[in-house]
Amino acid sequence: MSTSNSPRRISRRAVLKAAAALPLVTIWTRPARAAEFTYKLATGQSLNQPINARLKEAIDRIREASSGRLEIRFFPASQLGSDTDLLSQTRSGAVEFLNISGSVMSTVIPLAAITNLGFAFSDYDQVWRGVDGDLGKIIRAQIDKSGYVSVSKAADNGFRQITSATKPIKAPDDLRGYRIRVPVSPMFTSLFQTLGANPTSINFNELYTALQTHLVDGQENGLVTIEAGKLYEVQKYVAETNHIWDPFWLLGNPRAFNALPDDLKTIVKREFDRASVEQRADVARLNTSLKSQLSSKGLTFVPADRDAFRAALSKSGFYTQWRDKFGASAWSALEAVTGKIS
């Protein structure tokens, strides 16, 4: 659902300050009238990620716009469990709303991995035309068939870059035998195995130590996550691969969401849509400023040959394999914004 509210321009400092101010357990002052509905919203994202600040603002607006009828308690930074736990809790109704990355969601909704297809999107214009258009409709329809409900527009978990402590990763040959940490996702594992690397799935909260002890040679994440996790302390190079774009999806428990009167559903969708749009702008600004800030902290940025990576994937049959898994309809919706993928 679109919103007429334009994104409010805020500085990176304001974003981080707002997010960092979130307590480990948020306690709301009860409104003058008792809430008709008291729900929980959980995230697995660290406190200083912009998505948490925007979701907190949306919750406040929802409480105000509903005159206190809907109270949503906020539990960021994996307070209620890991991403896998939270997916189960949301499906069962123990948690009513969950912000989750598309890559993690794909473990229970395989079609969601289509937005993670390696080297598919070239820029944000393609990304937003896709997830706000027919491709997004197809993914949301699958979400709604899988024990969840799609609540709002997708937010931005960023284009991902490859980091390393020992050498820059510029071309496919640089990944031969490379031990790289990836999230628990068949798409990520398939991508790096096809390129000759040795992908290892490690929880994010264990990643810093894994890099520090050289359990893995490197990792891949967006700049916001690299900065938030202080990975610049244990890595030296950032290859600007933009190899995967990952969204955030806001999922709801169907029974809880459908229990809301129509006017409250409208408020929820409107305010969470606004949060997603504003978070997209936050990440765009942060990506610009973070490159210089991470450089000043010791990271060296190097260009990567995206055409060479994509050619290697095409030659291996990677795209044919995933086209067959996703099906003709979803693949056509993807290529409508990316152009021919082969």
pLDDT per residue over 281-291, tens digit each?
999 999 989 99
Residue 11, pLDDT above cutoff 60: no
The CATH-assigned architecture of domain 12-156+247-292 is 3-Layer(aba) Sandwich (3.40)
- Give the least confident one: 11-15, 59-63, 334-338: 11-15
pLDDT confidence bin for 342, thresholds 50/70/90:
confident
Torsional sign, CA 270, 90, 66, 28: negative
Q: Does residue 146 or residue 27 have the better pLDDT?
A: 146
Tokens of 210: 């894994």
The CA dihedral of 320, 326, 328, 334, to the nearest 10 degrees, is: -90
Tell me, what's the pLDDT at 32? Answer: 53
66-110 pLDDT tens trace: 999 999 999 999 999 989 899 999 999 999 999 999 999 999 999
Tell me, what's the pLDDT at 142? Answer: 98
Give me the count of residues in the chain.
Answer: 342
pLDDT confidence bin for 12, thresholds 50/70/90:
low
Tell me, what's the pLDDT at 27? Answer: 42
Tell me, what's the pLDDT at 21? Answer: 52
153-208 pLDDT tens trace: 999 999 999 999 999 999 999 999 999 999 889 999 999 999 999 999 987 878 99
Q: Does residue 249 or residue 7 have the better pLDDT?
A: 249
Residue 121, pLDDT above cutoff 90: yes
Q: Strands, DSSP E only, in the chain? A: 37-43, 70-75, 97-101, 149-150, 155-159, 161-164, 179-182, 198-201, 218-221, 237-240, 245-252, 300-303
Secondary structure (DSSP) of 224-261: HHHHHTTGGGT--EEEE----EEEEEEEE-HHHHHTS-
Q: Of the candidates 61, 60, 59, 66, which has an alpha carbon nearest to the alpha carbon of residue 35?
A: 66
- When pLDDT is averaged across residues 37-61 and rounded to a whole number, the result is 95
- CATH entry, 161-243+294-338, from 3.40.50.80, 3.20.20.10, 3.40.190.170, 3.80.10.10: 3.40.190.170
Q: What is each CA distance from 161 to 14, 238, 244, 314, in whole angstroms?
A: 25, 7, 8, 20
For the question of whether the overall pTM of this predicted structure is more than 0.85, the answer is yes
pLDDT confidence bin for 14, thresholds 50/70/90:
low
Residue 26, pLDDT above cutoff 50: no
Residue 322, pLDDT above cutoff 60: yes
Give the count of beta carbons closer than 10 Å to the beta carbon of residue 197: 24
CATH 3.40.190.170 domain position(s) in the chain: 12-156+247-292, 161-243+294-338
What average pLDDT does the chain have? 92
Tell me, what's the pLDDT at 18? Answer: 53
- Give the least confident one: 21-25, 130-134, 314-318, 323-327: 21-25
Residue 314, pLDDT above cutoff 50: yes
- Give the least confident one: 3-7, 56-60, 180-184: 3-7
The proportion of the chain whose per-residue pLDDT surpasses 70, expressed as a percent, equals 90
Ramachandran angles phi, psi of 291, nearest 5°: -60, -45
pLDDT confidence bin for 295, thresholds 50/70/90:
very high
Tokens of 197: 């690397």
How far apart (Å, rounded) are the C-alpha atoms in residues 244 and 261? Answer: 38
Tell me, what's the pLDDT at 5? Answer: 43
Residue 3, pLDDT above cutoff 70: no
Tell me, what's the pLDDT at 204? Answer: 81
Q: Which amino acid belongs to residue 303?
A: P
Q: 3-class secondary structure for 112-145?
A: HHHHHCCCCCCCHHHHHHHHCCHHHHHHHHHHHC
Residues 6+ apart with CB under 8 A from 216: 179, 180, 181, 200, 202, 210
